[in-house]
Structure 1
């Protein structure tokens, strides 16, 4: 493992990175506003699985697999953006407020988790980030892959805490609303998700 000062530096950097809102935060916030806290956390579960698979990719085949994903960057990006637009459009065109919308929701926890997985993997920069960020804290005196796994788990924990805070705040904000304001929150959730899709499409390879 890295020395303690290096590890502490990594923990601080990990929290700084995940606190800044991005595509994933937009997706979980939009879902939490429209479908409640449970749906937000099920989506976060899918995000966590996606994060772990990315950590495994970095640990086992960093250069080769990152090159493949970078080559397919635009395809993956546009598919993910279209998926976010589809979800957001559903919220925008819903004629029900949040209370009614939750009652008739047909999305299972598994579907919400799959949505979270798709959202993160739809942003290839997430994999590139893991590939560029984690190895900087690896001690070259020891095997790299166990260190990458541990560092990745720390990053996942930081992401869970940050995303969880966003989910709870979003769900509580929605739960305090009533009447026509519930329908307005559906619209806001849809706008957030579509904005996340635009954000995703606007990103350029570095």
Structure 2
């Protein structure tokens, strides 16, 4: 496994996106354990895209305008929904210990949906993984599976760090309602901006 793959993967994973945003929001609102669950959900959401890239289905998505547009606007709608939830009194960023927390399953499903409903991920992996597999490699499939597993482990680890940091800052947010209002608006705006970026993204 090349150092180039590890460095490139780390840059991709660390870069802020919907998964990072969701994990941070969960860590701030419900603590370390919930943020780990959110990180797990976001990591699971990568699996369909990697599977599509490995099996070649991403090529269909890449060439089919209809398939790409349907998935893209489903993703846009979900990101806008997350922005709306965040602005609500008991939305995605609510630091209120008197409110019953969401179940682990619901937290995981939200994380999965955020990544599944992003068609750019399939196209990214379709272009990304083959760059690190030699054309003469006798076990191309296993090599891509290995790279995918490493990418997912790296994603989970980095997201856990993000979530733990957010959870560490949680007490400060709880003790200062003004900070909570500012954070809620910031996260809602970030979800909305990501949704807008996805809506305006041109099909490759």
Q: Quickly name the TM-score band, shorter chain normalised.
A: 0.7 to 0.9
Which sections of structure 1, spanning at least 5 residues, go unmatched?
A: none
> Where does residue 142 of structure 2 map in the other structure?
146
- Distance in 1 (CA, whole Å) between partners of 2:65 and 2:37 is 28
> Where does residue 89 of structure 2 map in the other structure?
94
Pick the aligned partner of 1:126 from 102, 121, 128: 121
Go from structure 1 to structure 2 and tell me whether the alpha carbon gap of 1:201 and 1:40 turns closer, same or farther (over 3 Å shift). farther
Establish whether residue 202 from structure 1 lines up as the match of residue 197 from structure 2: no
| 169-178 vs 64-73, which moves further | 64-73
Alpha carbons 1:34, 1:189 under 8 Å: kept: no
Query: Per-residue deviation at 1:82?
Result: 1.8
Partner SS state of residue 204, structure 1: coil
How does the TM-score come out when normalised to structure 1? 0.83
- Distance in 1 (CA, whole Å) between partners of 2:65 and 2:26 is 28
> Where does residue 19 of structure 1 map in the other structure?
14
- Distance in 2 (CA, whole Å) between partners of 1:31 and 1:8 is 32
Establish whether residue 175 from structure 1 lines up as the match of residue 171 from structure 2: yes
Alpha carbons 1:85, 1:197 under 8 Å: kept: yes
| 155-164 vs 102-111, which moves further | 102-111
CA RMSD, Structure 1 to Structure 2 (Å): 2.5
Establish whether residue 157 from structure 1 lines up as the match of residue 146 from structure 2: no
Alpha carbons 1:98, 1:182 under 8 Å: kept: no
Which sections of structure 2, spanning at least 5 residues, go unmatched?
A: none
- Distance in 1 (CA, whole Å) between partners of 2:37 and 2:80 is 20
> Where does residue 188 of structure 1 map in the other structure?
186
Query: Per-residue deviation at 1:35?
Result: 3.4
Q: How many residues align?
A: 200
How does the TM-score come out when normalised to structure 2? 0.83
Go from structure 1 to structure 2 and tell me whether the alpha carbon gap of 1:173 and 1:119 turns closer, same or farther (over 3 Å shift). same
